[in-house]
Amino acid sequence: MQFPDKSPIAEYTHTLRSRYGETDRMGYVYYGRYLEFFEVARTELIRSYGISYREMEESGVMLPVIHSEIEYKIPILYDEEMFIKVMVYDVPEVRLQTFYEVRTRQSEAVHVYGEVSLCFADTETRKPCRAPQSLIKSFENTL
């Protein structure tokens, strides 16, 4: 997985603890859960910029996933505290591309890398649209 070769314009780290129901028979966090963890971190990143998903949807803009990619390096076990860092490298226009690193205290190395791309879409027409101006300005203010 290739992360951009520049510093992120925004980053946020969300802490979660893996729960029993999120693990498989081997005691590892089930691979499909990581997209849910990414969503939680991404939602909180956007909230940290003063905008909520709910407000975007109520204003007529939704944000469906159009691409995801995950690279698993080290399993995370039941009851481990995870630090899910989400990074944005470019100001979103029609697309929001987010990158992820998941770490724990149990290892210095990254356990999981990820990338998720989302497209801003009009809730009525379901066609791509520009990101809300308030979100664009929030990201631009970090530059």
Considering the domain boundaries, does residue 73 fall inside one? Answer: yes
Cα separation of 68 and 71, whole Å? 10
Domain around 16: 11-140
* Per-residue pLDDT, 143: 73
Cα separation of 136 and 131, whole Å? 7
Q: Which of 24, 79, 90, 122 is catalytic?
A: 24
The pTM assigned to this predicted structure is: 0.94
Give me the CATH number covering residue 51. Answer: 3.10.129.10
Please write the tens of the pLDDT for every residue from 61-112. Answer: 999 999 999 999 999 999 999 999 999 999 999 999 999 999 999 998 999 9
pLDDT confidence tier of residue 1, bands split at 50, 70 and 90: confident
Is 24 an active-site residue? yes
**Residue 3: how many other CB atoms lie within 10 Å:** 13
Number of domains within the chain: 1
